[in-house]
Amino acid sequence: MKLVNVMYAALLGAMVAGPLQAADAPLTPEKQKAAKELLATLDVKRSTAQLKELMFRQWLMAASSAAPRAINEDKTLSDEQKKKLMGNGEKVMKIMGDDFKTALDKVDMTKILEGAAAEAYSKSLTEQEMREVAAFNNTATGKKLQQLQPQISADAMKLATERAAEQLRGAKQTSFADMVKKIDSAPAPAAPSKDKGK
């Protein structure tokens, strides 16, 4: 379980170190009330499910690349155990994934998301703007947009990915053999100066 705990910490650390920072000043009661009014117009439960799925996918990407190194560095495992784990990557990822999902299900994600969203909205919008967005969300168009937004976002990402892929098809790619040549011909890194820090 040590490996899983290390990866939980790595994932959460990466997420916390992201671009969103906590508000500089505590929320005023008025702004907090406006943020709660805005959140009441949003489908937080659906957002919570989407956030859990996103967190799991991010964890899976991080864990699949970190697991082999963590297994090799684990001093509590014998060479035979390491070999068995390395040879059963899919099974290892399934077990770790099940553990992560179980742990994630115990987290009150709705409460966390509501608090984080209130902070984020309050940092970016004024009290009046939050009330205006909440009023829009309560209109027929606002409700329709909320319902369709996940699909619209997914469609936009799919189209953008396809169009970028079309433009990248003709891009020059360096072969592995050419990479070796570039590495061999690259100048050696300069030795660190002994005078540094004096």
d(CA 96, CA 63): 9
d(CA 46, CA 198): 58
Evaluate whether 39 touches 114 at the Cβ level (below 8 Å): yes
Burial environment of residue 181 by CB neighbours within 10 A (0 to 12, 13 to 18, 19 or more):
exposed
Q: Give the model confidence (pLDDT) of 81-132 as tens digits.
A: 999 999 998 999 999 999 989 988 888 888 888 888 888 888 999 999 999 9
- The more confident residue out of 174 and 102 is 102
Please report, for the chain, the start and end positions of each structural domain, with discontinuous segments joined by +.
2-17+30-163
For residue 42, the SS3 value is coil
d(CA 106, CA 118): 22
